Amino acid sequence: MKRLLVVTAFFAVKGLQAQRNSDVVDYVNTYKEIAIREEQRSGVPAAITLAQGIHESMAGKSELVLKSNNHFGIKCQATWKGEKVYHDDDARGECFRSYEKPEQSYIDHSDFLKNGSRYAFLFQLDPTKYNDWAYGLKKAGYATNPKYPQILIKYIEDYNLQQYTLIALGKLSPKDEVLAGNGRPVNIGTGVVIQQIPSGPKPVVDYPIGEFKINRTKVIFAKAGTSLLGIAKQFDVSLKHLLDFNEFSEDEDDVLAEDQLVFVQRKRREGPQEFHEVRPGETLYDISQSEGIRLEYLINYNRLQDQGEPAVGEKLYLQGKAPEMPKLAKDVVLVTPAPPVVIPTPTQITPTNSSAVSGTIHIVAEKETLFSIAKKYSITVEQLKEWNKLTGNDLKIGQELVIYKN
């Protein structure tokens, strides 16, 4: 039986994985160069593209992607003239675009955003601001899942996807890439590795065995590996309602990935007490479960729509509107003192001062890109463009490119 992908609330994925780590890492390493190339061509940040691809395709393992190479769940629409497949999604037998190769899906995804009027405002955003892009996609109606921005942000931060946006922009050298899943998150816009203030482990609570109540609402403490369908049958509720009671995503599978509270009745609109002080390791979702309050009300009471997680020690209101928004955890992030990665500017070696260096000619082969060529010679894309007076990112097979090396 597949693992349930339990996605938490509006601002964090509650320590659970949407796919096995190895699947995600394999996916990133397979498609990162396409995402970088598409950012250079279209302006869609590579980090966003990869995060969407991971989520929409279940890291390349979904039924839809296996039969259509459609990595982004783009539906046919009236203007689509290409191949089609039919797949159950929001309704049965919906029409989805089908592609011969995955790369075509990536190109169509970029064009879908670039040419869609409702997404036009996104291209006015800084491409390194992945939070803004993630929330912007939700605002533009790309996905109906209210947790969509947080899902993308968590993938970006957990798998160092921001580095591919920076590489595409020439702000980070390809040789400085940290393999997905093995490195530290990169600070947006600078390339500096950031360090979160340690929040400590989640609070440990000794919950009763079997059914008990939190905030006058029936709940159990279920162990990792427990089937949600089994819980639903045991307590005579539908699986759909059980998912709704606990703010789980309706399109996920069936098994809990970690120990957690599972409500078998709908949580209440108010908490059992007036306030809750945020403890180390707690997310909004954790608090909504431990206090038996619906997540949407917890967020609204504390003015946290589209903001983020509250900082440790902040007081959250559980029974009415807070006078002001609490401080956010992201506002207490410490930047390591290491300086930003410094990449030589294109003017350090140019055709006009090439007498001091040696040069070589590279002949463009099939499927080569500016990024792949730059990576091969340990130079930046901007250097390659400057040396060859290129104004765009398109290359032709057989085209000669000059490469200057000390």
Six token digits for residue 327: 């401080």
pLDDT at 91: 66
CB 127 within 8 A of CB 47: no
CA distances from 271 to 203, 246, 304 (A): 19, 15, 17
What whole-number distance in Å separates Cα of residue 222 and Cα of residue 229?
Answer: 12
Total residue count of the chain as it appears in this document? 406
Residue ranges and CATH numbers for the domains of the chain are: 21-195 (1.10.530.10), 212-332 (3.10.350.10), 346-405 (3.10.350.10)
300-330 pLDDT, tens per residue?
A: 999 987 667 888 999 999 999 999 999 887 7
Q: At what angle do helices 102-115 and 46-57 cross, to 10 degrees?
A: 120
Residue range 134-150, pLDDT digits in tens: 999 999 998 888 889 99
Segment 217-243 shows an average pLDDT of: 90
Around Cβ 374, how many Cβ atoms within 10 Å? 22
Helix pair 148-158, 46-57: axis angle to 10 deg = 110
- Could you tell me the pLDDT band of residue 213, with boundaries at 50, 70 and 90? very high
- β-bridge mates for residue 261, sequence order: 221
- Looking at every residue in the chain, the average pLDDT score rounds to 79
Q: At which residue do the structure tokens 């996905």 appear? A: 143
Neighbours of 185 (CB within 10 A): 19
Question: What pLDDT is recorded for position 331?
Answer: 66
9 compared with 125, residue with greater pLDDT = 125
Tens of pLDDT, residues 79-109: 788 888 887 765 677 888 899 898 999 999 9
* pLDDT at residue 334 in the model: 41
Q: Model confidence at 44, in pLDDT bands (50, 70, 90)?
A: very high
pLDDT digits (tens, 9 = 90+) for 245-254: 998 876 555 7
What is d(CA 314, CA 327) in angstroms, rounded to the nearest whole number? 7
Residue with the two structure tokens 């065995």? 209
195: confidence class by pLDDT, cuts 50, 70, 90 = very low
